[in-house]
């Protein structure tokens, strides 16, 4: 199972929200590069970097932070938040992203997202499936759609999508454990995707349970920043 720490960006700073609420923001570090280097020093190779300003603005805002981290670490960065146009995706790749996560774009402009899958390949494009009560959320989790998560993922599986990041918004930032039932349901119905679990990881035991559930990767955010899981403890999963 891949261990993928998350850095969420607002105003160029490393922050965490609670359940996607921009009014419940906590700043953990003024310098995201310092945080990224600490992950790299611990032997971690991947990073989930989210431009929360971009998600709200519907265009990339923190490209310079992406560039700094990509230029000064060897981390393989998957970047999301505000990637809404051909210009945005070019900016992200030009600034050092190895993969792009598309969530809102996959809902609001599926034709363009499908073009990206064909143009960049399924190793480069990740489907973001952010859910609340199994319904897809967009626009930085500000809008809840009627799309249900399993049919949504299945529709892109038919387009060749391999990687899916699924975040249960109700679990995000509250340190109450991940949505194991949700991930098991998705993998039961769509067993041949690389499902990356996001939201709620609180302990090493959570990681063991996710691994046993068969997820491809686990994104960890607040648990690291609140010292619930140490970087040293993550080494056994690497």
Active site residues: 8, 130
* 83 contacts: CB under 8 Å, gap ≥ 6: 54, 60, 89, 92, 100, 101, 102, 105
Q: In this structure, what token pair is assigned to residue 237? A: 């999963």
* 202 contacts: CB under 8 Å, gap ≥ 6: 175, 176, 177, 223, 228, 229
3-state SS record for 24-79: EEEEEECCHHHHHHHHHHCCCCEEEEEEHHHHHHCCCCCHHHHHHHHHHCCCEEEE
| HSE of 112, CA atoms in CB hemisphere, 13 A | 15
């Amino acid at each position: 199972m891949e261990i993928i720490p998350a850095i969420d960006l607002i105003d160029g700073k490393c922050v965490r929200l609670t359940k996607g609420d921009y009014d419940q923001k906590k700043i953990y570090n003024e310098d995201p590069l310092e945080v990224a280097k600490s992950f790299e020093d611990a032997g971690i190779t991947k990073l989930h970097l989210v431009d929360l300003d971009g998600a709200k603005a519907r265009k990339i805002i923190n490209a310079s932070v992406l560039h700094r981290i990509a230029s000064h670490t060897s981390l393989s960065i998957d970047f999301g938040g505000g990637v809404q146009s051909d210009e945005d995706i070019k900016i992200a790749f030009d600034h050092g992203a190895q993969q792009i996560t598309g969530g809102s774009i996959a809902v609001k402009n599926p034709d363009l997202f499908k073009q990206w899958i064909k143009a960049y390949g399924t190793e480069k494009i990740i489907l973001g499936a952010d859910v609340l009560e199994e319904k897809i959320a967009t626009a930085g989790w500000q809008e809840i759609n009627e799309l249900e998560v399993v049919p949504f993922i299945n529709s892109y599986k038919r387009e060749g999508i391999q990687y899916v990041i699924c975040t249960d918004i109700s679990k995000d930032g509250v340190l109450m454990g991940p949505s194991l039932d949700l991930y098991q349901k998705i993998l039961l119905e769509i067993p041949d995707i690389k499902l990356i679990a996001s939201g709620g990881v609180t302990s090493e035991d959570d990681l063991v349970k996710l691994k046993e559930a068969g997820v491809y990767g686990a994104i960890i955010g607040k648990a690291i920043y609140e010292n619930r899981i140490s970087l040293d403890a993550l080494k056994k999963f690497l």
